[in-house]
Amino acid sequence: MHIEVRGLNKSFGDFHAVKDVSFDIEKGKLIGLLGPSGGGKTSILRMLAGLETPSSGDIVFHGKRVNDLPPQERGIGFVFQNYALFKHMTVYDNVAFGLKVKKQSKEQIRERVMYLVELTGLKGFEHRYPHQLSGGQRQRVAFARALAPEPQLLLLDEPFAAIDAKIRSELRTWLKDLIESVGITSIFVTHDQEEAIEVADEIMIISKGRLEQKGSPWDIYKEPATPFVASFIGESTIVEDLSELKGFEHASSESGTKALIRPEYIELGKPGEIKLVSATMPAVVKHLHFRGSEWMVELEVGSTKLITYRSLEKDVLHPGEQVNVLLHRAYLFNDSRSWILENPLKVDPMPMFI
């Protein structure tokens, strides 16, 4: 289903939860609404579902305004954060609920339920009650139940929040594959950037009720539109004083300009390891943290602290060691604009003026 949202606002009393949000979603896409908790993501989802009435703005499905359509008539499947399974019904009856509402025949219901039970890997569990299932199984039931009435849009509110970390990543891949095979337009809410990046075709970053940026995970990572997005996606350190960073000393004449530096922007080497010596600056290793598959290195360049990673394959560093650092690029921003600046010294290793 093609979705259009125009100038959506929602206030709860004095609290302005959603501020002037507009976006388009193409048919068949899997969209992740990402942002900090309490940022208005769930409110947007609930307004799409019809469980909440917008204070102003339009929601358009297939070119038809649905603001006044009750949730019963919107044809949307909704997976709640805690699944909201009917606890007095078996798995079978849970999945069959939406079909019984539609007054389908017993055989039709049976066929559809058994198809979904099989699709979600719940075969053999049809006669169990929700409290007899594990978290992951409950999630699958919630998913099968939402899909049963063949909705045109699937909304998922923090679908993995209540599942422990190990099964979570398994379920993520499973869900992504399943949504792809069913071919249904889906929107899910999450506060976990890793989850959004891994699962979504497109991410919408929501903060304080505003839509900060919409785009593919790679685009958002590469070209963050606002300082908030830049700091929210990936890891980063904010540097207020640029004068100590080689290549960026005169990056901006505008006052109040700060730099956001990601660990992967920094190349770290023992003396002699980096080819472009002229672009490097000396640094001291302050701390080392083992992160399972790599080292996290805390560096100090003058008085500026930076963070980067180092492969386990390379020589082991020690706290207090002198190293060279090449800063490839920085995300610069001030009150009026933001831009990405590549290290100018990289392009011309031996700047000479003839």
Partner 1 sequence: MSIRRLWIGLTYVVFGLLLIVPLIQIAVGAWSDGAQSFVDALLRPQSLHALMMTGIIVVVVTAINTLFGVMLALYLVRGTWLGGKIKRLLNSIVDLPFAVSPVIGGLMIVLLLGPNTIIGAFFEDIGFKVVYALPGMILATLFVTFPIMVREVMPVLQEIGSQQEEAASMMGAYPWYTFWMVTWPSIRFGVIYGVVLTVARSLGEFGAVLVVSGNIMNKTQTATTLVYQDVENFNVVAANGVALVLAAFSVGLLLLMEWAKKRKEVH
Q: Which is nearer to partner 1, 145 or 329 (CB)?
A: 145
Q: Which is nearer to partner 1, 69 or 340 (CB)?
A: 69
- Dihedral over Cα of 46, 47, 53, 54: its sign: positive
70 is a site residue for partner 1 (CB under 8 A): yes
Tokens of 222: 């590469």
Tokens of 195: 């989850």
Q: In the set 149, 215, 234, 269, which binds partner 1 (CB under 8 A)?
A: 149
Q: In the set 1, 84, 161, 167, which binds partner 1 (CB under 8 A)?
A: 84
Q: Which is nearer to partner 1, 129 or 309 (CB)?
A: 129
Phi-psi domain of 20 (left: phi exceeds 0; alpha: psi -120 through 50; beta: other) = left
Q: In the set 61, 92, 97, 188, which binds partner 1 (CB under 8 A)?
A: 97
Residue list 254-283, contact with partner 1 (CB under 8 A): none
* Contact (CB, 8 A) for 59 and 65: yes
101 is a site residue for partner 1 (CB under 8 A): yes
115 is a site residue for partner 1 (CB under 8 A): no
Question: Which residue, among 133, 192, 203, has the nearest Cα to 168 in the 3D structure?
Answer: 192
76 is a site residue for partner 1 (CB under 8 A): yes
Residue list 29-48, contact with partner 1 (CB under 8 A): none
Shortest separation between residue 233's beta carbon and partner 1, angstroms: 30
Shortest separation between residue 114's beta carbon and partner 1, angstroms: 18
105 is a site residue for partner 1 (CB under 8 A): no
How far apart are alpha carbons 290 and 280 in whole angstroms? 25
Q: Which is nearer to partner 1, 4 or 93 (CB)?
A: 93
77 is a site residue for partner 1 (CB under 8 A): yes
114 is a site residue for partner 1 (CB under 8 A): no
Instruction: Give the interface segment with partner 1, choosing from 70-78, 234-242, 257-265, 315-323 (CB under 8 A).
Output: 70-78
Which residues in 81-110 are b (16+ Cβ under 10 Å) and which e?
eebebeeeebbbbbbbbbbeeeebeeeebe
Q: Which is nearer to partner 1, 23 or 80 (CB)?
A: 80
Shortest separation between residue 91's beta carbon and partner 1, angstroms: 14
Q: Which is nearer to partner 1, 50 or 224 (CB)?
A: 50
145 is a site residue for partner 1 (CB under 8 A): yes
Query: What element of type H or E holds 166?
Result: helix 165-182
**What interhelical angle do 135-147 and 165-182 show, nearest 10?**
20
Measuring CA to CA, how many Å separate 340 from each of 205, 210, 248, 251, 306?
19, 23, 12, 11, 18
* Contact (CB, 8 A) for 343 and 248: yes
Shortest separation between residue 71's beta carbon and partner 1, angstroms: 5
* Contact (CB, 8 A) for 99 and 150: no
With CB under 8 A, what is the number of residues at the site for partner 1?
24
Instruction: Give the interface segment with partner 1, choosing from 1-9, 84-92, 181-189, 216-224 (CB under 8 A).
Output: 84-92
- The C-alpha angle with vertex 342 and arms to 239 and 263, in degrees rounded to 5, equals 50
311 is a site residue for partner 1 (CB under 8 A): no
How far apart are alpha carbons 347 and 278 in whole angstroms? 11
DSSP state of 244: G
Shortest separation between residue 52's beta carbon and partner 1, angstroms: 10
Interacting residues with partner 1 (CB under 8 A) = 49, 51, 70-73, 76-78, 80, 82, 84-88, 97-98, 101-102, 145-146, 148-149
